[in-house]
Amino acid sequence: MNFTSTFSQRVSRPANTSAQQQLSSGQISFLVIAASLLLVGLIMGISPLTYLMVGVLLLSVLYLVQMGFNIFLLYSASLKGAISDYAEEVAALDWGTLPSYAVLVPLYKETAVLKQLVINLSNLNYPKARLTVYLLLEGDDTPMLEAVEAMTLPSNFRKIVVPVSHPRTKPKALNHSLQFVEADLCVVYDAEDRPEPDQLLKAAAGFLNSPPEMICLQGKLHFHNPNFNWLTRFFAAEYAGWFTLVVPGLARNGLLLLLGGTSNHFRMQALRDIGAWDPYNVTEDADLGVRIARAGLKVKALDSVTWEEANARPWSWVKQRSRWIKGYMQTYLAHMRNPLRLLRELGLARFLAFQVMVGLGPYINMVNPLFWLLTVVYFITRSGFIEALYPGPVLYMAVIAASLGNLIAIYMSLTGAMVQGEYGNIKHMLLSPVYWSMMSVAAWRAFRQLIFNPHHWEKTQHGHEPEVVPAATSAPALAFAASGGWRGLDTSDVRVDKQSVAEPVAQ
Amino acid sequence: MLQQLDIMPSTLSARQRPRSLDKTPDQWLRWILGAGIVVSILSFIYFFQQGITTDFYDAGARMLITRRVVDSPTPGLAQLGAVWLPLTHIAALPFIGIDWMYQTGIAGSLVSMASFVLSLYFVYRLSTLLTEKRAAGLVGVLVFVLNPNILYMQSTPMTELPMIAMAAGGCYYLTLATRNPDKRRWYLWSGVYLALGSLIRYENWIILFAAVPLLIYSFARRRFAWARLEGTLIYWGYWAFFGIAAWLAWNLLIFGDPLYFQRGEYADPSNWVFEGSQVVGNFPMALMTYIFAILSTVGPMLIAAIAGIVIYLARTRLRADSVMPFLPLALFPFFVLVVFVGQRPLDVPQITGGVYNIRFGLIMSLPVAVFAAYLASQHRFLIGTVGAAAVISAGVLVGTLGIITTEEARIQVNPDQVAAGEWFADHYHGEWMLLESFGNDIFQHTAGIRLSHVIYEGTYQTWELALAEPAQWAEWVVMRPAVGQGQPADKLWRTYHDDPGFHQDYELTYNNPGLEIYRRRPASQ
């Protein structure tokens, strides 16, 4: 069955925001006119130095804007109501009428973590009759298909095979699955995810106690391996800072909430209604967050953790980050095809948040090295040319942005490590600029890919370093593990934690 | 199903949830802050009408420095220089461009007045935190606000009240941090206040440094693992030490030496070694000198505070969560030490007969207020007693020593510079002038000269050029001869006074024992 045709009959996209097309004709015209005007200015005698001064001025203002936005988020995140675990609402849940839940897990070349995945998802504390786990398998991923085939999966697990077609992306697989999935709520997890067992209950309670326009809850993603090496220390702190400061800060103010790739829970009908995921966008989650906001719907932050594996290898990390940044660039271009309509649909505050996070973020990473270089060269040479780029007020703005802006950015990493309780890593966060330099490499790589290979999805390999041995902590998981449920797979490292096995839930 | 879900009401609405008493708005605090604002304004009006709000030498000098940021041949933040820490100057910047606010010093007084109200807030918060009694918090506020020296200093463009406010904020939030070590926000806010304080007065650096061992002690008593202790300390210190780091970086960037504020040509005069006082090298005398400075500025409430400290120590036994209120007391040994080694001059009427720098004692009004409140909290009877004692203490202070900080300010009035400034104001029409600003601040402030036409040591290359050929640059040249101890002749006097060439170009138009004013001869233009 051709999903695209089927699906497009069921939903209508409010605006053409697909990243299938990179630049609209209007955007191309805008770029051409802007370049022409710059060229005309040069011909008419405006000096290149003037251009550089204006460029430095604009960038200094943008740096300040980003700094102010970070301060705003830090402050907002410290206020009550920024994030909720719905503890009282969970306690009041009626187990007999819980909504049906679908767990969607796109899998591609993930045999290394498959058994962990089954245990982790079996540990979810939710009535089995109301919960179905869908493993989304690629049609040409033979090892994965064989591995799943070799397993005796728990009874509420299903597999969906995604036919081979382009683009080869995770959102395409997710969209494909929607034609087979019927449930009230759904959530997306990655292969290596280990969600907190009560996460579905919290999310269900959250949906039950929220107005219908709140269609998505974003869980917190933390890494289980922050101390694996220097890279994971930074990565884990950055993630923790994002989900502890940025996401709650955005959610509290009703601003644009860019979804993380996993642990986002949806009301399924609403998800279908807004067009589900864009298969051509390599950060389909961020794009979906924008489209939810454009539709006048809301996302909230859920205080429940999903543990993931931090990418521990520098080049693999760069590739993964390149995809994320490229996706932001795609998302920006896609939604800025009609800026006035975007402004009207988002409202001013969320429009500005979109400009800062999606528009500014990737490019700041690209220009950072330039300004670092300028600073170093100036202090070595005291160059008059560099001084000329920074007339009085611009200098003040640049100094404030460079000092306070960077300090705040480092502080967010410090807070990330503090939130995780990884106290030993806090001192390492003082060296965050080293990590940022890798982001800059990734940003330039993303920019190049945006031009030459925009829809290429760079797969992040998981399971490369020792995971915490998964423990079966729920009755279904225990039963699965005790049955020796998987054939042909090494199960020697599966730990059955009988002490902490939960009582069977009421169904 | 979904439709059913969507209309289901919240299981427990926000209104239904029980409200903790701690979260209810403190109506007392609103009244206290409101009354504090009124007291602040009335006090300012009272002292302003007497014309003494800018009597301190530093008051005029600070206004001058701030004004130069916007009004100078080379305006900009670099004019903040490296003599004094910059934050109070930066805070006064929004007002300094308004001539009457600059001239009257109100631009700086507003900063002090706002700091006074902020101090009240933290005195109340800290007192109620320690005692869990709002009435005791009110007593703490009374002790603080009924001090006439505090009321005078909050009316001046000086830095005592901003310093106290920042120390109080740092102390309050650190106390919260040691009580709830898992709450990240307390580390942030305590760090921010201490960092801001460290950009106001060097004494705040001492408070900041003293906070480190107190935090370590608190964490160690809680048996924090080393990694947690180290990590939490770094997390707190990241912002707390930002002020000092920024100041060192500023000195390095602008003046090429991170310790320029200490080693530079115009280093803070309060850091100068002061020899010849009878208390230097005599520890008991130094100790008594500082105690008398506290008594002279804070009054007999010091005794109530000491009693409060003893009871607090006995009750809390240096628990992990109880040590931080002692933080402002770190300045006590510090001042005794600096007086002992002669790092700073301090005169008190009871020992040396003077009052110079006696306002150093005023810094103790914060712990005195808090611990007097603690004493008051011990018994219902003591609430009224300590409150009444605060009123009596104020009366005793005024009745015996008067408002001694006004006396200290009065003796700093430089009559020569004021007279020269007033003469100059009548003869000046916006021409260019050359002078060394350092040490001649009061003349410039009094004269109301056009700072954008003044060449001085802060105008970089122009200063050197003008020194070489003054007649090419300046209509007026002002110089200061040596005036007693600690006031040597300025650079222009040393350069030109005995230079015949200079006198060919300039004629002396005004002089008094403290200042000489020269005007360019018509033929020299």
How large is the ipTM? 0.84
Q: Has residue A305 got a pLDDT over 70?
A: yes
Sole residue written with tokens 């520098």: A314
Distance between CA atoms of B317 and B26, rounded to whole angstroms?
A: 30
Residue A49: CA count within 13 A, CB half-sphere: 8
Residue B92: CA count within 13 A, CB half-sphere: 38
**Residue B21, Cβ neighbours under 10 Å: how many?**
6
Q: What is the pLDDT of residues B119-156, one digit of tens each?
A: 999 999 999 999 999 999 999 999 999 999 999 999 99
Omega of the bond leading into B73 within 30 degrees of 0 (cis) = no
Q: Has residue A136 got a pLDDT over 50?
A: yes
Distance from CA of A209 to the nearest CA of B (A): 5
Q: What one-character DSSP code corresponds to residue A142?
A: H
Q: What is the pLDDT of residues A12-42, one digit of tens each?
A: 445 677 888 888 889 999 999 999 999 999 9
- In A208-355, DSSP assigns E strands to 214-223, 264-267, 298-308
Residue of chain A whose alpha carbon sits nearest to that of B3: A212
Q: Is A212 exposed, middle or buried (0-12, 13-18, 19+ CB in 10 A)?
A: middle
Nearest CA-CA partner of A470 in A309, A229, A232, A230: A309
Confidence band for A231, pLDDT divided at 50, 70 and 90: very high
* DSSP codes joined into one string, A16-45: ---TTSSS-HHHHHHHHHHHHHHHHHHHTT
Residue of chain A whose alpha carbon sits nearest to that of B17: A88
pLDDT at A465: 55
Q: Do A424 and B76 touch (CB under 8 A)?
A: no
Confidence band for B9, pLDDT divided at 50, 70 and 90: very low
- What's the Cα-to-Cα distance from A216 to each of A17, A19, A187, A288, B322, rounded to whole Å? 19, 22, 9, 10, 45
Q: Which of A392-396, A464-468, A489-493, B232-236 has the highest mean pLDDT?
A: B232-236
Residue of chain A whose alpha carbon sits nearest to that of B225: A423
Distance between CA atoms of A324 and A284, rounded to whole angstroms?
A: 10
Report whether B325 contacts B261 (CB < 8 A).
no
Rounded to the nearest 5°, which phi and psi values hold at B222? -85, 5
Q: What is the pLDDT of residues B471-512, one digit of tens each?
A: 999 999 999 998 776 678 999 999 999 999 999 999 999 999
Distance from CA of A191 to the nearest CA of B (A): 28
Distance between CA atoms of B399 and B381, rounded to whole angstroms?
A: 27
pLDDT at A253: 86
Q: Which of A267-281, A464-478, B259-273, B370-384 has the lowest mean pLDDT?
A: A464-478
Q: Has residue A280 got a pLDDT over 50?
A: yes
Q: Which of A412-426, A450-464, B289-303 has the highest mean pLDDT?
A: B289-303
- Terminus-to-terminus CA distance in chain B, angstroms? 95
**Which tokens belong to B505?**
């170009």
Distance from CA of B375 to the nearest CA of A (A): 35
Distance between CA atoms of A179 and B1, rounded to whole angstroms?
A: 19
| CB nearest to B238's CB, from A78, A414, A422 | A414
Report the pLDDT averaged over residues A37-63. 92
Confidence band for A6, pLDDT divided at 50, 70 and 90: very low
pLDDT at A480: 56
Q: What is the pLDDT of residues A78-120, one digit of tens each?
A: 777 667 888 889 998 988 889 999 999 999 988 888 988 999 9
Sort out which chain B residues have CB atoms less than 8 A from A92's CB and list them: 11-12
Distance from CA of B252 to the nearest CA of A (A): 11
Sort out which chain A residues have CB atoms less than 8 A from B9's CB and list them: 209
**Which tokens belong to B275?**
């020899």
Q: Is A220 helix (H, G, I), strand (E, B) or coil?
A: strand
| CB nearest to A184's CB, from B2, B238, B239 | B2
The helix or strand, by DSSP H or E, that contains position B433, with its residue range, turns out to be strand B433-435
> How far is CA B225 from its chain centroid?
38
Distance between CA atoms of A420 and A226, rounded to whole angstroms?
A: 9
pLDDT at B315: 96
Rounded to the nearest 5°, which phi and psi values hold at A101? -125, 135
pLDDT at A420: 84
Q: Does A413 touch chain B (CB under 8 A)?
A: no
**Which tokens belong to A265?**
């829970």
Sole residue written with tokens 């305006």: B75
Q: Does A68 touch chain B (CB under 8 A)?
A: no
Determine the residue among A423, A428, A430, A432 to mutate to test chain B binding: the one whose Cβ has the most chain B Cβ atoms within 10 Å.
A423
Report whether B87 contacts B247 (CB < 8 A).
no
pLDDT at A342: 95
Distance between CA atoms of A153 and A507, rounded to whole angstroms?
A: 20
Q: Does A281 touch chain B (CB under 8 A)?
A: no
- Chain A and chain B share a number of CB contacts under 8 A equal to 72
| CB nearest to A269's CB, from B2, B10, B11 | B2
Nearest CA-CA partner of A480 in A116, A154, A148, A151: A154
pLDDT at A81: 67
Distance from CA of B200 to the nearest CA of A (A): 18
Confidence band for A391, pLDDT divided at 50, 70 and 90: confident
Sole residue written with tokens 């701030």: B66
Distance from CA of A306 to the nearest CA of B (A): 22
Nearest CA-CA partner of A75 in A247, A287, A245: A245
Report whether A409 contacts A70 (CB < 8 A).
yes
Rounded to the nearest 5°, which phi and psi values hold at B224? -65, 140
pLDDT at A461: 66
pLDDT at B474: 95
Q: Has residue A180 got a pLDDT over 70?
A: yes
Listed in sequence order, the residues at least 6 apart from B309 whose beta carbon sits closer than 8 Å to its beta carbon are: B367, B371, B374
Q: What one-character DSSP code corresponds to residue A360?
A: I
pLDDT at B485: 61
Nearest CA-CA partner of B356 in B413, B411, B414, B295: B411
pLDDT at A7: 38
- What's the Cα-to-Cα distance from A156 to each of A102, A114, A126, A152, A477, rounded to whole Å? 10, 16, 11, 11, 12
| CB nearest to B6's CB, from A212, A423, A430 | A212
- Strand-pairing partners, residue A131, are A101
Structure-model confidence comparison of residues A457 and B46, the more confident one = B46
Nearest CA-CA partner of B169 in B200, B139, B138: B200
Sign of CA dihedral B508, B510, B513, B515: negative
Q: Is A298 helix (H, G, I), strand (E, B) or coil?
A: strand
pLDDT at B459: 87
Q: What is the dihedral of CA B303, B309, B314, B317, to 10 degrees?
A: -160
pLDDT at A229: 92
**Which tokens belong to B8?**
């289901």
Distance from CA of A475 to the nearest CA of B (A): 28
| CB nearest to A184's CB, from B5, B239, B246 | B5
Mean pLDDT of chain B: 91
Q: Does B248 touch chain A (CB under 8 A)?
A: no
Report the pLDDT averaged over residues B65-72. 93
Q: Does B76 touch chain A (CB under 8 A)?
A: yes
Report the pLDDT averaged over residues A323-334. 94
Structure-model confidence comparison of residues A278 and A168, the more confident one = A278
| CB nearest to B234's CB, from A212, A392, A427 | A427
Q: What is the CA radius of gyration of chain B?
A: 26
Q: Does B11 touch chain A (CB under 8 A)?
A: yes
Q: Has residue B275 got a pLDDT over 70?
A: no
Q: Does A391 touch chain B (CB under 8 A)?
A: no
Residue A197: CA count within 13 A, CB half-sphere: 18
Distance between CA atoms of A251 and A293, rounded to whole angstroms?
A: 11
The helix or strand, by DSSP H or E, that contains position B249, with its residue range, turns out to be helix B242-255
Rounded to the nearest 5°, which phi and psi values hold at B417? -70, -35
Q: Do A184 and B234 touch (CB under 8 A)?
A: no
The helix or strand, by DSSP H or E, that contains position A274, with its residue range, turns out to be none
Specify the pTM: 0.85
Residue B514: CA count within 13 A, CB half-sphere: 17
Confidence band for A400, pLDDT divided at 50, 70 and 90: confident
Q: Has residue A303 got a pLDDT over 70?
A: yes
* Chain A residues 35-54 with CB within 8 Å of chain B: none
Sort out which chain B residues have CB atoms less than 8 A from A407's CB and list them: 238, 242
Q: What is the dihedral of CA B310, B311, B317, B318, to 10 degrees?
A: -60
Sort out which chain A residues have CB atoms less than 8 A from B227's CB and list them: 423-424
**Which tokens belong to B107?**
């631009």
pLDDT at B14: 39
Q: Is A131 helix (H, G, I), strand (E, B) or coil?
A: strand
Report whether B153 contacts B119 (CB < 8 A).
no
Listed in sequence order, the residues at least 6 apart from B40 whose beta carbon sits closer than 8 Å to its beta carbon are: B113, B116, B117, B154
Distance between CA atoms of A413 and A419, rounded to whole angstroms?
A: 10
Report whether A151 contacts A487 (CB < 8 A).
yes
Sort out which chain A residues have CB atoms less than 8 A from B238's CB and list them: 407, 410-411, 414, 430
pLDDT at A499: 42
Q: What is the CA radius of gyration of chain A?
A: 24
Report the pLDDT averaged over residues A429-441. 95
Sole residue written with tokens 């950060």: A283
Structure-model confidence comparison of residues A301 and B322, the more confident one = B322
Q: Does B521 touch chain A (CB under 8 A)?
A: no
Determine the residue among B4, B5, B69 to mutate to test chain A binding: the one whose Cβ has the most chain A Cβ atoms within 10 Å.
B5
Sole residue written with tokens 């999935």: A181
Q: Is A473 helix (H, G, I), strand (E, B) or coil?
A: coil
Q: Has residue B30 got a pLDDT over 60?
A: yes
| Percent of chain B topping pLDDT 90 | 79
Distance from CA of B478 to the nearest CA of A (A): 30
**Which tokens belong to A174?**
């997710």
pLDDT at A494: 44
Q: Has residue B390 got a pLDDT over 70?
A: yes
